[in-house]
Amino acid sequence: MSNSAAGDLARMCHGIAVRLPRMPEMEEVRANLARAAGQVPALKSLRVWAEPVAFPAGDARSARRRATELRRAPAPEGPGLRAVFLEYADGPAELVIVAHRAVLTRDGLRGLAGVLTGSGGPAGEPPTPAGPPAPAQDAGARTPAWGLGDPARAGRHSAVALGPVRASGEELVRAASLVLSRYTGGEDDAVGVLRDDDAEAERACVGVVLSERRAGEEYEPCAAPYFPLTLWAERQEDGTLRGECRFDEDAVAPEIASRFARQVARAAERLAAGLPGAVEPDAEEIAELLAVGAGAPLAGHAPTTIHAAFEKVAAARPGAVAYTGEDATLDYAELDRRAERRARALRGLGAGPGELVGVCLERGADLVVTLLAVLKSGAAYLPMDVRHPRERLRATVEDAGARIVVAEDFPPAEGRTLVRPADLDAAPEAGHADGPQASPDDPAYVIFTSGSTGRPKGVVIPHRNVPALLAAVADDMRLGPEDVWTWFHSAAFDFSVWEIWGCLLTGGRLVMTPYWVSRAPHEFHRLLAEQRVTVLSQTPSAFAQLIHADAGTSADLAVRLVILGGEPLDVRILKEWFADHPPARCRVVNMFGITETTVHVTAQTVTAREMVERSRSVGGALPGWTVSVRDPEGRPVPFGAAGEIYVGGAGVALGYLNRPELTAERFVDDPYGGGRLYRSGDRGRLRPDGRLDHLGRLDNQVQLRGFRIELDEVRAALVEDPAVRAAAVVLNEEGDPRLDAYVVPAGPGPAVPAEIRGRLGRILPDYMIPGTITVLDDLPLTVNGKVDTARLPAPSAGAALVEEEPAPARGEGPAAAMLEIWRRAFGAPVSLDDDFFELGGNSLLAIRISAAMREAGLPQITLRDFYLNPTIRGLEAAMTTR
C-alpha cells in the first residue's frame, strides 16, 4: 500500500448528483434507508449526511462544493459508499452519492438515490450493492515513457478541456489508439475503455472514459483519473463529445497531456468525417515541433574559412602563445608563419582546393602546423592516427584518394606522395606563393568514422561549419584569450577539431597532451594543474577516470569549463567532481554531437539538479543548429515520444566521401522545409522546452529471445548500482544468445556479481538481466576515449555466480616473473619480502606493475592488493588463494 493505493480508491469511484426541489426530511430519508436495508443488508452500514450550504444552488461556490463532494472517495474502511444531501440557501437540495464502481453501477447509484428520496418509482426495488471492494491491486508500471511526468508530483492530478469533438465515442477510442501509436512508435496502441456501468477496465497508460448525459443528474465517472492519461468524454445534446483530459502529474506533464488531447480530438474528427491521415501530424503541430527543436539564429556571423578566422586572431595577438607542448612552444605569429611556409610547399606538390592531404603524425607542433598548412594550401586535411593499424591507414588513404600524405612513417602506396614535415620546411620557397584559395563552402577536413557496422566512411566537413560552431558557443561559454585548452584527443577523432580550432580561433593557448599522458589519469591531472588549463574536453568514460584521479590529489585545478561529449553521459559520475568543483566555479556542459554535424549539436549545462534527477538531457540545439525527432517515415513525432534524432543547420556535413548512395540515405532534404538534415541513427526525445533527451543508439536496440532490449537501458541500470562505477553491456550471440555485462567497482569494496544481479532483478525485467557479469578494473577505451566493446574480454566463466577463476599458471612461478617486473620498475634488484611502499612505490607504479603483469600473463592485481599485500610473497599468496 502506498500513495498509489490510496489514489486507486478514488480512481475506482464514481458518483452522481441528483437535483431535488427541496431538502427532504432527514427522518424520512433514514426511514427509507432502513426499509431498503431490510431487503439489502449491505445498506445497513450506510450513513446519510446532511450538509447546509450557505449559498444559493446556482452560485459558483455551490458548484465547487458539489464537485468536491462528487470527487470525494468513500472511507477506505467501510461500505465503499457515501451519501450526502446538500441543502442550498435558496431552497433546492441535491443528493450526492459516491460509490466504488464494484459496489454500485451507475444505474445502482440512480436507484439508491430513488430509495433515499422516496422517489424510487412503484417497483421501489433497492439496488444491491456488492460487498466492500477488495483492496486495490498493485498498479504496476503504468507510467508512460513519453509522458515526461514529474515524479515529485505523485498523487496529484490535473485536467485540460477536451472538445467539443464532432465524433462518436468509438471514433474517439480509435483516434486515441492511433495517436498513442505515434507516441510509442507503434509498439503500443492499447487504449483502455471505461463505460458508465463497467466495474473496471483493462489497465493501460491511456484510456477513454465514455459517459452518457442523463437529464436530472450530474455524473462524475472517476473521482481521480482512471488511467494515467484519461480522456473523459460525455455526449452532449448537440451530438458532440465534450469532457476533460485528466492526468496524473507524476506520469504525464501538462504540456504533453494538452497536446495529446488536441491530437486525439483532431484525429477523431477526421475519422468521423471519413478524411484520410488521421494519424498524420498537422501543419501546426509540425511547425511547433520544428520551431522548438531549432536553436536561436546565428546572428551576425558571416561564413568564413578556418584559416582566415585563424589569421585574424593571429594578426590581432601575434605574440600570444598559441601552442605549448613537450616539443615546442609557438606564438600565434610563429604558428602562422610556419604553416604558411608549409602551405606553399604543399601547393608545390599539387595541393589546392578539391585536393585531400593525408596527415598521419604524432600529436605535437608538427601536426598542428601541418593541419593549418593544409587548410592554407586550399586543400582539405585527412587526419589519421599513427596508432591505427598500417593496413587501415593504407586503406583509408586509398579510399579517400589522397594523393599527398604528410607523415614520418607511412605504409608506401602506389601513386601517393609521402612527405615528411621536415621535407616541407626544407622545400625551396620560390614560386607557388599564391594559389587559388579555399572558399567557406570547400571541404576543410575529412574524418573517417567506423560506425558500428560496415566499413569506415569519410565525413566531409566544409570550412564554414567550424567558425559557425565557435560563433554558436563562444559568447555563452565566454571563450577567449585567457583560456588554456587541452588537446587531448587524436586528430582522427573530431573532438580534436573542437579542441584545436576551438582554442586557436578564440585566441587561447593549446596544451598538447602526449598520448601516454592521455591514457594515465594521474599524469593528465598533473598536466592540468601545471598548465593551469581552463577548458577541458573529455568523453564521459575518460572523465570518470580523471575524477577518480582528482579525488586522490590535493593539486589545485584552474578548470572553469568541462565539455563532455562523444558518448552518453551518466550524470551520476559527476557526484564526486561536484563535491570538489562546484558548478559555480567550474561549469560542466554535456554536449551531444556527431562527426556528420561538426562535433557538437546541443549543449546542456549539468548541475547538481540534473545529477539528482538522473537527467538524460543533452540540452537544446546550439544557435544555428536544429534538432528534430522523427519516425521511420521521417515525420516529426510528438513531444515526449522517442524517435530518431535528425540534425540540421550550420553543422551538417557535405556528405560521405565517394559514397553517394550512403550520403543520399543519411543526408536528406526535409520535406517540411528544414533544409538539409542528417539522420543520426541516435534515439532521442524532444521535450516541450526544446531540450533533447538522448536515449542511445537505434542500433543498440537488440532482439533477445523475442524481446526488444535497449542495451543502454541495461547499462544505465548497472551504473545505478551502488557497487558499480562504470559498466558496458553487449549482446553475445555465440551459442545461446545472452547479454554480457562488464562492471568496474565503485569503491574499494568488492563488486560481487551475484549481488549486483540480485539488485538488477528489482529494476529490470528478467529478460533484461545479463547472463554474465564480469568485474574489470577499468573498461577498455578506444583511441578516442570511448568504451571499446570490441576489446572487452570474454566473460569470466560463470561470472554471474562464481567469483573469479584462478588464471592458469604459466611457466615458472609468478614470483620469479614478479621479481623481474619489480626490478625493472624500481630500477634495482628486490627480494621477495621487500615492502612495495618502503621501496618508494606509489599508486602510479602499482598501475604500471599491474599492467606489466598483465602483459606477462600473470593474474591481475589491483591497487588494493598492493595495499593489503605489499610484498611479492604476499601478492603471490593473494593471487593463488583467489
Partner 1 sequence: MRLSGKTALITGAARGLGRACALRFAEEGADLALFDLGGDIDEVPYPLGGADQLEHTAELCRKLGAAVVTATGDIRSQESVARAVEAATDRFGRIDVLVNNAGIVAPSGKDLHEVDEREWAVMLDVNLTGAWRMTKAVVPGMLPRRSGSIINVASTAGLVGYRRFAGYVASKHGLIGLTRAAALDYAPLKIRVNAICPGSVRDDPLVDGRMLVEIARALDVPVQEHEGTFAQGQPANELVEPDDIAAAALWLAGDDSRRVTGAVITVDGGYTVR
* Contact residues: partner 1, CB under 8 A: 1-3, 5-6, 47, 49, 51-55, 61, 64-65, 68-69, 72-78, 82, 84, 155
Q: Which is nearer to partner 1, 62 or 496 (CB)?
A: 62
Q: How far is the CB of 804 from partner 1 (least distance, A)?
A: 39
Match 556535413 to its residue by C-alpha cell: 653
Q: Quick one: 223 or 654, whose CB is closer to partner 1?
A: 223
User: What's the start-to-end Cα distance of the chain, in Å?
Assistant: 45
Output the CA angle 144-148-150, nearest 5 degrees: 105
* In the complex, least distance from residue 82 CB atom to partner 1, rounded to whole angstroms: 7
Measured from the Cβ of residue 148, the count of other Cβ atoms closer than 10 Å reads 20
Q: Which residues of 732-766 are buried (b: 16+ CB within 10 A; e: fewer)?
A: beeeeebbbbbbbbeeeeebebeebbebbeeebee
Pick between residue 49 and residue 837 the one whose CB is nearest to partner 1: 49
Q: Where are the alpha helices (DSSP H) in 304-442?
A: 306-316, 332-348, 365-377, 390-400, 421-426
Number of residues that make up the chain: 882
Closest approach of Cβ 648 to partner 1, in Å? 44
Are 592 and 565 in contact by the 8 Å Cβ rule? The answer is yes
Least distance from partner 1 to the Cβ atom of residue 2, Å? 6
State which residue, 65 or 715, has the beta carbon closest to partner 1. Answer: 65
| DSSP letter (8 states) at residue 805 | P
Residue 682 CB, shortest distance to partner 1, in Å, is: 38
Cα separation, 642 vs 471, whole angstroms = 30
Shortest Å, Cβ 37 to partner 1: 16
Tell me the backbone φ, ψ of residue 616, rounded to 5 degrees. -110, 15
- Least spacing, CB of residue 29 vs partner 1, in Å: 16
Instruction: Give residue 790's identity as a one-letter amino acid code.
Output: A
Phi and psi angles of residue 318, each rounded to the nearest 5 degrees, phi first: -60, -35
The answer for residues whose C-beta is within 8 angstroms of residue 53's C-beta and 6 or more apart is 62, 65, 86, 87, 88, 89
Cα(360)–Cα(349) distance, integer angstroms? 17
Q: Give me the least distance between CB of 85 and partner 1, in Å please.
A: 12
CB of 101 to partner 1, least distance (A): 16
Q: Which is nearer to partner 1, 73 or 424 (CB)?
A: 73
Q: Are 504 and 497 in contact (CB under 8 A)?
A: no
47 versus 708: smaller Cβ distance to partner 1: 47
CB of 49 to partner 1, least distance (A): 5
Buried b / exposed e along 804-815 (16+ C-beta atoms within 10 A): eeeeeeeeeebe
The smaller minimum CB distance to partner 1, of residues 54 and 851, is found at 54
Q: Which is nearer to partner 1, 222 or 591 (CB)?
A: 222
57 vs 561 by CB, closer to partner 1:
57
Return d(Cα 862, Cα 751) in angstroms, integer.
Answer: 13
**What is the Cα–Cα distance from 370 to 356, expressed in whole angstroms?**
13
Smaller CB separation from partner 1, 72 or 195: 72
Q: Which is nearer to partner 1, 77 or 238 (CB)?
A: 77
| Smallest gap from residue 218 Cβ to partner 1 (A) | 17
- For CA atoms 816, 819, 821, 824, the dihedral sign is negative
Query: Which C-beta is closer to partner 1: that of 10 or that of 718?
Result: 10
Point out which residues pair with 587 in neighbouring strands.
561
DSSP letter (8 states) at residue 622: P
Q: Which amino acid is at 650?
A: A
Q: Which is nearer to partner 1, 157 or 630 (CB)?
A: 157
Q: Which amino acid is at 772?
A: T
Question: Residue 42 or 535: which CB sits closer to partner 1?
Answer: 42
Q: How far is the CB of 222 from partner 1 (least distance, A)?
A: 15
- Residue 61 CB, nearest distance to partner 1 (Å)? 5
Q: Compute the least distance from the CB of residue 5 to partner 1, in Å.
A: 6
CA–CA dist 744, 750 (Å, integer)? 10
What is the pairing mode between strands 617-621 and 602-606?
antiparallel
Q: What is the DSSP string of 73-125?
A: PPPSSSSSEEEEEEE-TTS-EEEEEEEETTT--HHHHHHHHHHHHT--TTT--
Strand partners, 98: 15, 82
According to DSSP, the residues that pair with 18 across neighbouring strands are 95, 217
Least distance (Å) from partner 1 to the CB of residue 135?
A: 10
Please check whether residue 347 is in contact with residue 432, taking contact to mean a CB–CB distance below 8 angstroms: yes
- Judge contact between 230 and 201, C-beta under 8 A: no
- Among candidate residues 772, 857, 773, 853, the one with its CA nearest the CA of residue 808: 857
Q: Which is nearer to partner 1, 55 or 826 (CB)?
A: 55
